[in-house]
Structure 1
Amino acid sequence: MNKSLTLIVFLVLSQQAFSQFSISGEIRPRYEFRNGYQSLSQNSSQFGSFTDQRTRINFDFKNNDYIFRVVMQDVRTWGSQSQLVNNDGSLTSIHEAWAEVLFTSKYSLRAGRQEIVYDDHRIFGNVGWAQQARSHDAAVAKYKTDNFKLEMGFAFNQDRPNSTDTYYSVSNSYKAFQYIWAHHARGDFKGSFLFLNNGIQAGTPTNYRTVYSQTTGVHFEYKKNAISSSINLYHQSGEHSDGSDINANLIGLDVDYKTGVKTSVFVGYEMMSGNDQVGPGNKNKAFTPFYGTNHKFNGYMDYFYVGNHINSVGLSDIYFGAKTAISKMNLYGALHIFASTGKVSSGSFPNTMSKALGEEVDLSLSYKVKNDVVLQCGYSQMFATDTMEALKGGNKNKINNWAWVMITFKPLFFQSKSEKNE
């Protein structure tokens, strides 16, 4: 018995001599007050109030041959289960479980459940704000040099093993995708190209097909001295799940200017094309940002493209604001001015409403309490128009606001010596 234990210890220690291993965690409870979040408050409705929590245990291993990562995750609302609960139901899951074989220093292949994040998260992001976040079951082939990266991803989804058909019945998910992403950095400039062939299951279990759309675009970044800027240009074509042809576009521009060492101001504009409610044509002009971290864009109250506003009248978003750091504290403030890009029906054909949707104010604060402990809070308020009310329902004259408080703990439980020394 003692010899066996000694052998195990020897093998572990010898493994650590040329590998890296760490165990880390996260606990992130967040309280939210919702009074017009995502949609305008109803006349008869009262505010919503709750606390939900994300808990994670992360296992990371790397040696000269491969990388291995597993993230166990539990997401729950405080009080959603009895104190004497005997099972977790579907609350606990595997957020990530992947391995990446390192063929050479340049070539590798990652397969398994993984987060896929590119550029500014506009088309592919991990949706880190959402407690459950986003991950994909996919294989990604990679090539990299000092200033160039090329990645190709593939996914094909099924809801269960089967022998007779490939119909996919999981809601709010894709059937398959293939993409290629290329990134080049040179001096103060970074540029990326993305092509995504995205397949959605259409039809019925006895008469189905996979409908594909294509998203093609570029992302550019430029940073020099006090100025940081970025540009997004994307075009979508192909077929929508309703059978219509897609002809949609996204244009985005963001400029940040440092006014001091820890203070900056920013201004930006984003346009996503949309469909007209009056006299629609035979093309679907509604842009879909697919798997992006959409909470990061178009206001923190998530009125647009966060489980809503898909295949709608599009969006124009002009925004500006400022951010600063004071000791351990970071402050952020922004104003968004929203409008539709498509025509909104007034209810009496062929009359239309104003395209103005309203303004949103976002304020947030982040404070580093201790190492690995961060306290955050925020407040947002929507000032909507009649057009927003026509699109979303509810009452624009009520106070539509949202507030939240969140504390995040990210401890590092264990780290191998070889990793510490690197």
Structure 2
Amino acid sequence: MKKRNIISYAALAGAALATPSFAQAKTGDPVIIAEGLTLDPIFDARLAYEHVDQPLSSADSLTMRTRAGLELASDIGLSFLVESEATLGIINDYNDTNIGNGVEPYSVVADPENIELNRIQLQFAKKDKGSLTVGRQRINIDDQRFVGSVGWRQNEQTFDAVSGSLTALKPLTLEATYAISQRTIFGADAGVREDFDGDFIFLGAGAKLGPLNLKSFAYLLDFDAGQPVSLSSSATYGLRATAKLPVAEGFALDLAGSYAVQKDYKANPADYSVDYIAGSVGTSYSGFSLKLGYERLGSDGAGNRFQTPLATLHKFNGWADVFLSTPPAGLEDKYVSVAKKFNLLGGVTASAAYHDFSSDAGSIDYGTEFDAALNFKINVVSVGLKYANYNADGFAVDTEKFWLRLGYRF
């Protein structure tokens, strides 16, 4: 890491710890600084170890990420938030994806060293009425399949945007966002990949009808010319439905389904229309849950396929991150997952999943993947262990990954 970044990182941590309000808010409660006005400290630290094993390369990374900031809030619903983010590499035997870092022979771990302004926003919000947020902000929509903050990686994805929601028209909820920049996870030294600019519109209209939640959505992505993603502008329109149906005491069915159509948009030279289908059925009883699911990202057979470039992609299609970009022939993912909560250490959650991947067009076998995770807390420290094993079956590269993460926040 460059010397200036080490100095900046140290200064950031020192300034945060020296702030009087930060020291007073050990429990995370806002500090009253005047009548109707509070100052809330933000601190979030995560130590992350990641190991990657592939046939021709491997990687080991140990990184420390901190976020520090403040939120000034009034009782009329107006608030101002500012937050910095810094990632320091401790073990650097990995390829952070940024050209020129000198470690390209290693496998990829997309956690580059970085220091940046993560969020700076002005918000007006009223409970049960709605909100309006202006500035650099975190945006997570629904299950983050189309727009998310990529919170799994050390450097968070944020957006320079104006976003609003209207919740006063029960049971209807309206959402709208206009963004001019996607601030990526690749950090300040990523060159043209640090951020992707354009005109991005996210629209949603939902309603809760008894146990059923319905939502229609539209995502219009118009990337500026001259960027690596400039030819991938797209318009996506769809519908999502979820429901939780009680069957017996302590036993319920969780249902979810989505359908969307994606087309070329603005300067995209392609002429295509592809669809997206997802559905899952889950059960839960006494801390145990089981889910069966299916997801298809369609292809027109000519290389045009359904893509979600603003999503939190790690949540979908296996934790090994083999399918962060949809293959030209599309993707089908048939999966089953199980989870169990145990009354140990104040609460331990164990989970596992199995995926069977294939193409949408051409009947190509993409391989299988097994994932497992264990999450718990020790006092104020959250602990996460995670494992992914992707068997390529000749399609790509066999990939095995292991993570250990320790987190603390208030």
Shift of 1:320: 0.3
Summarize the Cα distance change of 1:303–1:79 in structure 2 as closer, same or farther, 3 Å threshold.
Answer: closer
Q: Which residue identity is paired with 1:384?
A: A
Match of 2:292 in 1: 267
Match of 2:382 in 1: 374
Q: Please, which moves more after superposition, 121-130 or 185-194?
A: 185-194
- 2:147 is paired with a residue whose SS is coil
- 2:140 is paired with a residue whose SS is coil
- Deviations 1:60-109, CA, capped at 9 Å, x for gaps: 232214122222111122156xxxxxxxx972111111011358973542
| Aligned-residue CA RMSD (Å) | 2.9
* 2:201–2:220 contact (8 Å) kept in structure 1: yes
Summarize the Cα distance change of 1:236–1:302 in structure 2 as closer, same or farther, 3 Å threshold.
Answer: same
- Output aligned runs, 1:334-413, within 5 Å: 334-343=353-362, 354-370=363-379, 372-386=380-394, 388=395, 392=396, 394=397, 396=398, 400-410=399-409, 412=410
Shift of 1:381: 1.0
Summarize the Cα distance change of 1:255–1:13 in structure 2 as closer, same or farther, 3 Å threshold.
Answer: closer
Match of 1:320 in 2: 336
Question: Where is the strand percentage greater, Structure 1 or Structure 2?
Answer: 2
Aligned partners of 1:188, 1:22: CA distance in 2, in Å?
Answer: 36
1:56 pairs, out of 67, 70, 85, with 67
- Deviations 1:177-236, CA, capped at 9 Å, x for gaps: 1221122223212122111221022359xxxx9985211111111002211111111111
* 2:275–2:298 contact (8 Å) kept in structure 1: yes
Match of 1:228 in 2: 254
Q: Which residue identity is paired with 2:178?
A: F
TM-score, structure 1 length as denominator? 0.74
Summarize the Cα distance change of 1:361–1:151 in structure 2 as closer, same or farther, 3 Å threshold.
Answer: same
Q: Which residue identity is paired with 1:364?
A: A
Match of 2:307 in 1: 288
1:304 has 2:323 as partner:
yes
Aligned partners of 2:268, 2:164: CA distance in 1, in Å?
Answer: 32
Shift of 1:310: 4.3
Shift of 1:24: 2.9
- Deviations 1:21-78, CA, capped at 9 Å, x for gaps: 3213111111111013xxxx3xxx2421111221111422322141222221111221
Aligned partners of 1:135, 1:320: CA distance in 2, in Å?
Answer: 31
- Runs of 5+ consecutive residues of structure 2 not aligned to the other structure: 1-29, 93-111, 184-190, 247-251
- Deviations 1:134-162, CA, capped at 9 Å, x for gaps: 10001113322254321221123499xxx
Displaced runs of 4+ in structure 1, greater than 6 A? none
Aligned partners of 1:365, 1:13: CA distance in 2, in Å?
Answer: 35
* 1:275–1:311 contact (8 Å) kept in structure 2: no
Q: Which residue identity is paired with 2:287?
A: K
Summarize the Cα distance change of 1:274–1:53 in structure 2 as closer, same or farther, 3 Å threshold.
Answer: farther
Aligned partners of 2:295, 2:202: CA distance in 1, in Å?
Answer: 24
Q: Which residue identity is paired with 2:337?
A: G
Summarize the Cα distance change of 1:67–1:149 in structure 2 as closer, same or farther, 3 Å threshold.
Answer: farther
Aligned partners of 1:13, 1:29: CA distance in 2, in Å?
Answer: 28
**Identity within the alignment, %:** 22
1:152 has 2:179 as partner:
no
Aligned partners of 2:57, 2:127: CA distance in 1, in Å?
Answer: 59
Aligned partners of 2:91, 2:192: CA distance in 1, in Å?
Answer: 31
Match of 2:50 in 1: 32
TM-score, structure 2 length as denominator? 0.76
Match of 1:247 in 2: 273
Q: Which residue identity is paired with 2:277?
A: I
- 1:243 is paired with a residue whose SS is coil
Match of 2:139 in 1: 116
Summarize the Cα distance change of 1:174–1:312 in structure 2 as closer, same or farther, 3 Å threshold.
Answer: farther
- Deviations 1:255-287, CA, capped at 9 Å, x for gaps: 2101x31111111000001253xxx3xxx6400
Summarize the Cα distance change of 1:217–1:50 in structure 2 as closer, same or farther, 3 Å threshold.
Answer: same
Aligned partners of 2:147, 2:354: CA distance in 1, in Å?
Answer: 25
* 1:366–1:374 contact (8 Å) kept in structure 2: yes
- Runs of 5+ consecutive residues of structure 1 not aligned to the other structure: 1-11, 81-88, 160-167, 344-353, 413-422
